Amino acid sequence: MSFQVFVIGVILLNGLSSSPASASPDSGFEQIRNSLVKIYTRTNPPDLGSPWQSKGIRSTSGSGVIITGNRILTNAHVVADQVNVEVKREGMTRRYTAQVVHVGHESDLALLAVDDFTFFEGAVPMELGETPIIRDSVSVYGFPLGGETISVTQGIVSRIEVSRYSHSGRSLLLVQIDAAINPGNSGGPVVSGGEMVGVAAQSIRSADNVGYMVPASIIRHFLADVEDGRYDGFPSMGVVYQSIENDSLRGALGLQGEEKGVLITGVNDGSSAHGVLGAGDVLLEMDGVSIAEDLSVPWRENNRVHFSYLVHEKQVGDEMSLKVLSGHERKDLKVVLKNTDYLVSRPNYDVKPSYYILGGLVFQPLTMDYFKLFKHAPPDFSYYVGYRNLRTPERRQIVLLSKVLAAPLTRGYHGLRNSIVARVQGQVPRDLPDLIRIVEESSEPWLKVETESGRTLILSLEEARSRTEEILKMYGIDGDRSGDLVRGQSVISDQ
């Protein structure tokens, strides 16, 4: 059986109408050159290991391109966690202050603005073309590390598929090219036939000249999304699934003849499919398009891509029709598409991580950001991330006892870290705010924390409360909880 799994294996590049293969990929060089932008970013990313502090100011650079409306298109990872952004066009000597006006971390895209309109004088915005096809010629423009002037490399499109974006962990349409792209190319335009057909985004560390671009169709979706001034993101069905290639499985499910589809094995609470699909249902068609036994659907000129592509083409709030086999009964259903949060949330940027400290015990939600701290993640983390990453009404987050701050009160527990909390005061915490509620409402003499690995921690609850401030001062921590966990608030987003 083919199950949905999580894979990470690429690096980002900050420091990356279909044209025929014979067309010149860089016609109109001077026009393209005048639209190119070098981006200088100072960032201050959070320290997930000590979530009350940041890692400190860092300087990075990337590339961008001027598009219609005096906007600069680049990668989201070029400006993630930014505190200051400056831009400079090719041939200019002056840097201009820029503002991030829209950012879509899922698709690794961002739009910048510059208040001083002299920055745009003489620039001709790049036109957005169509996503190229395999063997189309392309040129990659940008400012890779090693110099201040532009670099241009050429190659062809070698693969098109739904694949994982390294920045967000989200699987969307991604185009592989063999043109050399390097750190600093991120956000630079990929051009074919004088039009922008993508934005350079990431590469594989262990391979030569294997790069990836965000294709024109994803860029167009992003630009259409933000036209109303708000970024909603890419919808998802919010299901766990497996392929149906085995004949016995097909027969048991009631599939007939050449009928094909996807077996739903779980549905995320609050997702697009919640209340519409259930475990054991077979998804046969989406908007009239049949899904093959290998989970693929047709995509341009006899190519095939993962069936989730059909969902990603839609905007949040759009309706999609489904043909479903449920209990051997065929049904025509509809769903309103949402952007779904999962039990283990996707990477977050431009926000501070959540945490809560009581008596030296540090609690955090398990997130993809936290998961990525590990070269070899704990097996229980990997299970929730890769195989059962579904919210339920009873569990909206996986809450961790991430570490224990050394103090006399916590003697004997100092080495305990990265443990999933099973119960607090005998109750399963729905999420981190719910854990806080359980503790603050408790009148028990003891604080009892049980982990999924079978460990139990017990502290005097009165002493834990009274000594928290003293322990925070010992470690230079300003407060017992992150800013999003203001006293009195005990819910998290259901979106």
Other CB atoms within 10 A of residue 218 CB: 27
Strands (E), 178-326: 189-192, 195-203, 211-215, 239-243, 262-267, 282-286, 289-290, 296-299, 303-306, 319-326
Closest C-alpha to 365, from 383, 342, 392, 388: 342
Choose, from 108, 369, 434, 480, the residue flagged as catalytic: 108
Active site residue 77: yes
Structure tokens at 348: 């977050």
Separation CA 71–CA 226 (nearest Å): 12
Residues 136/157, Cβ–Cβ less than 8 Å = yes
Choose, from 186, 203, 308, 482, the residue flagged as catalytic: 186
Structure tokens at 291: 């899904």
Choose, from 19, 77, 107, 308, the residue flagged as catalytic: 77
Active site residue 186: yes
Separation CA 380–CA 417 (nearest Å): 13
Q: What Å distances lie between residue 78 and 59, 103, 187, 318, CA to CA?
A: 10, 11, 7, 30
Active site residue 102: no
CA atoms within 13 A on the CB side of 209: 11
What is the separation of C-alpha 43 from the centre of its chain, rounded to a whole number of angstroms? 19
Catalytic residues: 77, 108, 186
